Amino acid sequence: MKLDNPDDCVDSDAWLGLWTAFRTIWTEEADRIGVVVGCSGGADSVALVRLIEAARRQTASPASLVIAHLNHGLRGEDSDRDEAHVRSLAEELGREVVVQRQKQSRQAPVQYDDDPDDRGGSGQRLDSDEASLRQARRRFLVQTAKQHGCRYIALAHTADDQAETVLHHVLRGTGSAGVSGMAISTPIEIDFIVRRPLLNVRRTLVRQALTEIRQTWREDLSNQESRYTRNWIRNEILPAIRQRLPGVDASLIRLAENQSQTDELLTRFGRQWFDAFVSCVLGSDSSRWLRIQTSFDRDASRLWKHDHELARDRAVITRGLQWMFQQYQLPMRDMTQTHWHRLCDLVLKPHDEPEMRSVGHLPGRMEMKSELHAVWIGPIRL
């Protein structure tokens, strides 16, 4: 027997616990908004589909619920069985399912505002590696949301995923955004919001709940291989740490929560800095140039309502510059910490001559120019 409504699961403590945790994030307001649910066929995403379906039925919501599955085809027949399982689940629930079979290609990445996993690096990555697979899923989910008029994209990341993500970022070196981990709600592009309603739930509870309501799921055996860094952290590093520090998962999650609060404040200041000191100018050849003001005295901008010394804070400037890249969709994937430091240095110590001159290049064929009281960023002219 498979149960759609938690009211029918009074004897299932795990399902009720999962439902309660889910409902603290996925409120009745969310029930009224169309949603695309990314479903791999694994336990976490299957549970998320059933939870959102139960919520829709509880509130009799007519809002769209679309189940989306991307078949990467990397595991042959196992990938096809995953797809079949998702199709069967959608048919059982009477919900539309959208399936896409992955074609190996390189396309421009879709970035979340809190996507430190995909910042930096060489940019030369194989289609079968982790970053490319994530980008393919995101493009597919955004496209599906556009086609079906859905504002929400629901993903089934759990607290375990959060702990693994934070440790991964710490081990390879990261900024404050990386330590903050994933957010429960994240804007993507302009019109969509990624929701992660299971982010406070442990993976063991999800599996126990599905077992109690006799809902099957698929196991991706490749997750047991440690050739990918995330799998290595999940399968080897975290288990080794838990033997000495059993509370490491909770500590990592708490670290992310604390840093997220600080990061939200920094982001707020950064966006206000962007509004006050960045403007867009069209060149004579219709190219777009961004002008960054480098004078921060009290009369520099009427839009800056804070102490003028805060406008010179490196963390605020860097966050404002990152927001600028996102707003104007500048190539950000290959921007490293060195690039951000260089750009911040130019803003704080600008060229003091009236004539504009080139002062360097940035990834994505962008040029930096400097003049008295301003730094400019625009396309390299051939």
**Secondary structure (DSSP) of 28-93:** HHHHTS-EEEE--SSHHHHHHHHHHHHHHHHHT--S-EEEEEEE--TTTHHHHHHHHHHHHHHHHH
State the pairing for strand pair 35-38/288-293.
Answer: unpaired
Compute the distance between CA of residue 161 and CA of residue 253 in angstroms, rounded to an integer. Answer: 10
Are residues 324 and 274 in contact, defined by beta-carbon separation less than 8 angstroms?
A: yes
Q: Where are the domains of the chain?
A: 6-246, 261-379
Annotated binding site for ATP: which residue ranges? Answer: 40-45
- CATH for the 6-246 domain, from 3.40.1160.10, 3.40.50.620, 3.40.50.300, 1.10.3720.10: 3.40.50.620
The residue among 136, 153, 157, 155 whose CA lies nearest residue 191 is: 153
pLDDT greater than 70 at residue 235: yes
Provide the pLDDT confidence category of residue 290 given band limits of 50, 70 and 90.
Answer: very high
Which pLDDT belongs to residue 190? 79
Q: Which pLDDT tens digit goes with each residue over 85-110? A: 999 999 999 999 999 998 654 444 44
- Helices 13-25 and 203-212: crossing angle in degrees, nearest 10, is 130
Mean pLDDT over each residue of the chain, to the nearest integer: 87
Tokens coding 106: 């390189």
pLDDT greater than 50 at residue 1: no
Which pLDDT belongs to residue 62? 94
Compute the distance between CA of residue 93 and CA of residue 334 in angstroms, rounded to an integer. Answer: 42
pLDDT greater than 90 at residue 25: yes
Compute the distance between CA of residue 328 and CA of residue 55 in angstroms, rounded to an integer. Answer: 37
Q: Which pLDDT tens digit goes with each residue over 243-275? A: 999 999 999 999 999 999 999 999 999 999 999
Q: Residues 373-381: what's their mean pLDDT?
A: 88
Residue 365's region, left for phi above 0, alpha for psi from -120 to 50, else beta, is left
Which pLDDT belongs to residue 119? 38
Strand partners, 126: none
**Within the chain, how many helices (H) and strands (E) appear?**
13, 11
Q: Which pLDDT tens digit goes with each residue over 110-160? A: 444 444 444 333 333 333 477 788 888 999 999 999 999 999 999 999 999
Compute the distance between CA of residue 295 and CA of residue 319 in angstroms, rounded to an integer. Answer: 18
